[in-house]
Amino acid sequence: MKTLKIPEATIIRLSVYSRHLTDVDRKGIITTSSGDIAEGVGVSPAQVRKDLAYFGEFGTRGVGYNVKDLRQHILRILGLSVDWSVCLVGAGNLGLALSTYKGFRERGFIITSIFDSDPAKVGTMIGDVKVLPLEQLEEVGKQNRTQIGIVAVPASAAQEIVDQLIKIGVKAILNFAPVVLNVPAQIELRNVDLAVNLEVLTFNVGAQRF
Amino acid sequence: MKTLKIPEATIIRLSVYSRHLTDVDRKGIITTSSGDIAEGVGVSPAQVRKDLAYFGEFGTRGVGYNVKDLRQHILRILGLSVDWSVCLVGAGNLGLALSTYKGFRERGFIITSIFDSDPAKVGTMIGDVKVLPLEQLEEVGKQNRTQIGIVAVPASAAQEIVDQLIKIGVKAILNFAPVVLNVPAQIELRNVDLAVNLEVLTFNVGAQRF
């Protein structure tokens, strides 16, 4: 089966469209159009149509899109029509922020386990999840059928954690440690570097120089 | 003066190249090539040359790039040859994580003030910065010649904070609140939605369906 290459920018916009459609649906609105969606999220109607066209025909000409159907379609495209079992490694400030981030649960990312190597953190509760020692990652991670690992540990510890996550069968890893990680080709890895976000800003502030 | 439209992906790669060059420089290596850089960061040599070509000629044919010079060039392009005065609003878990994030200071983003509306947080120290009440944002923000604001407050409070940041003269805002913010055209705004990162992963995990 041929895999279409979908631009990442399209995927990110689909995510934005789906949030917008959730809001529209909550307001009780039944049908919408690419123009309405475009206005709601701040892109052009042509962009909305192009993004959706990667995945087939959704709307009805002259009628538009059914809000609930389109939302469900997009969630299915994003892999969000099911819940994902997520394991968080690292219960420092960033780990705490991530584990209490409402946006994850809303989108079906359920943090089922949290691990840390610090004995002072082990046993504490974050929301309704108890922080476990790293030694239990393999056993508990498998029990919870963990599909996604979030790495929020110092750079020096990250590769070892990633190797363990792969051993328990995760399909995807979101890495916040500022280090280049080695993973097999079938594992989806995404690195988040918070400083890069500021650098895009400062580049844009100074962009008139070029 | 005509402003060239540089792809954001190029800016993000420049950031990655500059980190790689910092490492190479620390090892005492004097010259490098697009092939070496490409191998070091995991892109193609043609991509490295294309990204750099947006900003003029850097290397010498047959000799390659001087590591220190190229690094300095890229930092200047990214607006990182100077320090930036950053104000953080919101000292919750995410604010704490951001304020102790080493990657910011290393790249010249200096958090010069931190504000929170919670009396329990006001007066506490985060690193060497004291958390101040929101009421002092205008006065202290101006004193510190704040150029960048980071918004790490709940969605309901974000627009009001952004309006205040604009009033004290920030040029750029990094927003972590899950809400669409209104800013004047001359203000650079970047929204970080942590859940989107997971959604790109789950899309990719399931991408063979299309």
pLDDT band at B207 (very low <50, low <70, confident <90, very high): low
Q: Tokens for A113, please give them.
A: 């386990």
Provide mean pLDDT across the span B151-163: 94
| A129-133 and A125-126 strand pairing | antiparallel
Q: What is the pLDDT of residues B42-96, one digit of tens each?
A: 888 999 999 999 888 777 777 889 999 999 999 989 888 889 999 999 999 889 9
Q: What is the pLDDT of residues B118-143, one digit of tens each?
A: 999 999 999 889 999 999 999 999 99
pLDDT band at A207 (very low <50, low <70, confident <90, very high): low
Q: Tokens for A63, please give them.
A: 């009628």
Cβ neighbourhood burial of B179 (10 Å; 0-12, 13-18, 19+)? middle
Q: Do B202 and A78 touch (CB under 8 A)?
A: yes
Considering only residues 61 to 80 of chain A, which have any Cβ-Cβ distance to chain B shorter than 8 Å?
Answer: 77-80
A contacts of B188 (beta carbons < 8 Å): 201, 204-205
- Please determine, for residue B206, whether its predicted confidence score (pLDDT) is greater than 90: no
Q: Provide the H-helix boundaries in chain A.
A: 8-26, 34-41, 45-53, 67-77, 93-99, 102-106, 137-143, 155-167, 194-205
pTM of the complete model: 0.75
Q: Among A71-80, B168-177, B200-209, where is mean pLDDT lowest?
A: B200-209
Can you tell me the distance from the alpha carbon of A22 to that of B147, in angstroms, rounded to the nearest whole number? 35
A82 interfacial to chain B (CB closer than 8 Å):
no
Cβ neighbourhood burial of A105 (10 Å; 0-12, 13-18, 19+)? middle
Question: How far is residue B9 from each of residues A17, A109, A196, B14, measured CA to CA in Å?
Answer: 22, 27, 11, 9
Can you tell me the distance from the alpha carbon of A99 to that of B93, in angstroms, rounded to the nearest whole number? 10
How many angstroms away from the CA of A36 is the closest CA of chain B?
Answer: 16
Can you tell me the distance from the alpha carbon of B104 to that of B16, in angstroms, rounded to the nearest whole number? 14
Q: Tokens for B139, please give them.
A: 């006065």
